[in-house]
Structure 1
């Protein structure tokens, strides 16, 4: 038995050494990391508005219960009221209401407030109180993206120096802590802290994950396909998060969905420990282009702008659509999350299809069509009069954002290859900054606009902005590059195509053939 156990351990170690070089397993780890991040990002969408509204109503109930009770009328006053009733009855009026039958305003408010938490998302009685939730919910949702926005400029250069393995593992640890905080927080301040902490973990996971994929998949077409699959993890998180959160919140409670996500985080962390060896720091192989230099590149700025404004549309929908549904549709709790299901499904479809197709049809064209489609569909959202009317516009929004993300994420790496040094930590920090700006400005500005001028005008404004930005993506059609970089890229593409031809059963004896290439498939 001892020899058998030793043999199994040897085979396991051998398998791990081989799998550490596998691009597919690295892609799977990044997929799971993005899935966890975005499930935690979106699972709170149907929970937080209703939960905070219930907390506020509960505070009002407690306040009303502490008010002094109305004194019992004295007997002399009761006789005066009786005499007044008789006088009024003789004059022909119905004055049968007695002092004891009158319900005071304070008592009526307390009775109504006591009933609200049980049905807080079905036809809330206080529309003004509900509108005030727009700002609170928007600021809480924006806190994650704001912190991530501030963290990204440090994470990008850090990954260039120490590698991608350690930052992505640190991101897992922080994400796990944030998930546990969400599960057991019962106040706005603690929820705000948990959401902000998630921004630090998300910055580590997304920047390091995308940089790792760009460094492993060097061919532009393969890189686009791999990033499209990784964005499928993001799409799956966005897809599963809202309906999962709303159903669990309705039938189990607030704590349960976050504990399940914590178990998923532990699985991802164990996988990273086995495969990526996060304790190993890799020295910097070559010095990357400074972050400020990349931020001054107009083509990178255009690609980042498309990511920002495309995702800002869904970022504005997340905090404001549930409240608008509660106000106009009397939507139940589970419907607040299910309303985002068409957008999530279509985003998953869009990223998968255009991860491959965008390279063939032109990523610039894919981005132009996607931005215009986002604008048109967002403007159509307020015309819905029931949850079924939201299916088509939300489906179009998700599909269009999938087109934009699956085309702009790979083009960021391509622009670095074409115009700068092929080190990807900083450029994907910029891409993540653009993503975070959309999700930071969207909820914070969107909540205020929705409160002041209404939800329909909010959707009209962001739709027009997306349509007006679309023509700028035409500049990405043929971005200029350094001549020597263009020559290197052409040689690399020719070499990769030749290798692909040889794997289909044809022999090739050229000097560009890499005998170790099949090891990574």
Structure 2
């Protein structure tokens, strides 16, 4: 009797697991969690790395900041001993008068100079993840056509787990750089496989838009939680703590994937479109370009805004993390709102409006004189980026459906390349641009690029389908044959 009950219980559990594995909603939850953790790791480092690297390179100044010496005014030197005066450190000029810069002001001036120089190193580290992801996507996309989505998805978890542990225990620039670059491979596997899996499970265009809006909401939640989580944990617990918490969460996500997705090789039934054919499609390139330009501005802000705040507002660690909070909250709202709304109003129009709003918000950020002034432009920036991302990601799947074959690995590799291009070029250029033209003009420049790109969204209003393209080609061939026949008759 006991054996029968155990068998019945086992059958019920097995049946429950099988229903879960076939559930589209569970796949959506797994993809959303993977994107959430990936982007939590992406943004947790934003308030940590600049100050951590500065503290490593300036240990004496760190001790001075934690235990400032008493402020005293030194006695002026004896004019008879001026020849022995050390002009590099003394606060007096050759006449024995105080110079215009006090020791604290001189330290602040040197700190300003060091922070501007550090923007380049921090920008290169932040960009390394996107550059590696950029190189990995053209490999991961076609690979999903051969082995399916589940194995690359699980591989992304494993790589992300390793990257998180390296971040937790890394104590030098080179080790942290390696961790950031390694995360790029894991992100490529998770993003391309996750989006392709959703596009396959949700063939209806409207449902697909809603599902991708929810998945991007997971991404937005990671971006939302990451900076304040990293800043507060670093300030009050230590550098390793936030990464150890993330590694534990990633381990849970990996176990969920093992149990529900059961990673295995799955062959595609239909022939996928070639990566070259998709790259040569102008409508896909226009949609991907919108993702790039929309995200380039926030990518430039990630390494430069915390340092600019340290320099101009003397912001604390937690303030540097919290400053991205309005953008993250509004991005979460924008992605969930414009998943279904973009389909209704036209995704091209939602993206056009989003690019214009992004440009306006970027031009407002340098006008801020304290952290409160950053709330409105950052919130508008996040909302507008959510409009573009939640409209163009399902648009890529729709373009493949109507113009190519409904196999999605390669097109979402292109979409992820577009996303990574913004996050590679942005941080890599931000340090150099801040050094050469300044923080303000850097943001004005990327704002102008968004304004110029926005009108191209009109091309996506009614892209021609595969049948229309064939009809057009056949009509052109018929016209050529007719003209050739007419010419031959005239010659006769």
Q: Distance in 2 between matches of 1:132 and 1:8?
A: 64
| Match runs of 1:259-298 below 5 Å | 259-278=244-263, 280-298=264-282
**Cα deviation digits, residues 78-100 of structure 1 (max 9, x gap):** xxxxxxxxxxxxxxx9839999x
Assess if the C-alpha contact under 8 Å between 1:124 and 1:130 holds in 2: no
Kindly provide the CA deviation profile for residues 360-407 of structure 1, in whole angstroms up to 9, marking residues without a partner as x. Answer: 000000000000000010011000000000000000000000000000
Query: Of 380, 394, 411, which residue of structure 1 is paired with 2:364?
Result: 380
Distance 1:481 1:34 in 2: 31
Q: Is the 8 A contact 1:417 1:485 kept in 2?
A: no
Q: Secondary structure at the match of 2:248?
A: helix
Query: Is 1:183 aligned with 2:184?
Result: no
**Conserved 8 A contact 1:124-1:326:** no
User: Could you tell me which of 379, 389, 394 is aligned with 1:405?
Assistant: 389
1:197-212 maps to which residues of 2 (within 5 A)?
A: 197-212=182-197
How do 1:320-469 and structure 2 match up within 5 A? 320-469=304-453
Unaligned runs of 5+ in 1: 63-92, 109-118, 488-521
**Alpha carbons of structure 1 residues 484 and 17: separation in structure 2 relative to 1, 3 Å:** farther
State how far apart, in whole Å, the 1-side matches of 2:238 and 2:77 are.
Answer: 50
Once the two structures are TM-superposed, the CA of residue 124 in structure 1 deviates from its matched residue by 7.7
Gap runs ≥5 in structure 2: 64-75, 92-103, 472-492
SS of 2:22's equivalent in the other structure is coil
Query: What is the TM-score normalised by the length of structure 2?
Result: 0.86
Change (3 A) 1:38 1:124: farther
The Cα offsets for residues 412-449 of structure 1, whole Å up to 9 and x where unpaired, read as 00000010000000000000000000000000011110
Given that residues 146 and 440 in structure 1 are in contact (C-alpha distance below 8 angstroms), is that contact kept between their aligned partners in structure 2? yes
Residue number in structure 2 paired with 1:112: none
Q: Which residue of 2 aligns with 1:25?
A: 26
For the 8 Å contact 1:124–1:327, the answer to whether it is kept is: no
Q: Which residue of 2 aligns with 1:498?
A: none
CA distance in 1, matches of 2:470, 2:351: 23
- Give the distance between the partners of 1:129 and 1:471, measured in 2 at CA: 41
Structure 1 residues 479 and 180: alpha-carbon distance in aligned structure 2, compared to 1, 3 A threshold: same
Count of aligned pairs between the two proteins: 443
Distance 1:325 1:311 in 2: 21
Equivalent of residue 159 in structure 2, options 166, 169, 174: 174
2:118 to 133, 136, 155: 133
Residues 323, 284 of structure 1: alpha-carbon distance in 2 compared, 3 angstrom cutoff:
same
Q: Deviations over 1:482-510 (max 9, x none)?
A: 228999xxxxxxxxxxxxxxxxxxxxxxx
Shift of 1:8: 3.2
C-alpha distance in structure 2 between counterparts of 1:124 and 1:163, whole Å: 56
Query: 2:226 matched to which residue of 1?
Result: 241
Contact 1:160 1:288 in 2 (8 A): yes
> Bigger radius of gyration, 1 or 2?
1
SS in 2 for 1:45: coil
Matched, 1:95 2:96: no
Work out whether residues 123 and 331 of structure 1, in 8 Å CA contact, stay in contact via their aligned partners in 2.
no
> Which residue of structure 2 lines up, in the alignment, with residue 318 of structure 1?
302
C-alpha offsets along residues 48-79 of structure 1, whole Å, 9 cap, x if unaligned? 000111111128999xxxxxxxxxxxxxxxxx
Alignment of 1:440-519 (within 5 A): 440-483=424-467
Distance 2:413 2:24 in 1: 22
Whether contact under 8 Å (1:418, 1:485) holds in the other structure is no
TM-score normalized by the length of structure 1: 0.81
Name 1:227's counterpart in structure 2.
212
* Aligned residue in 2 for 1:250: 235
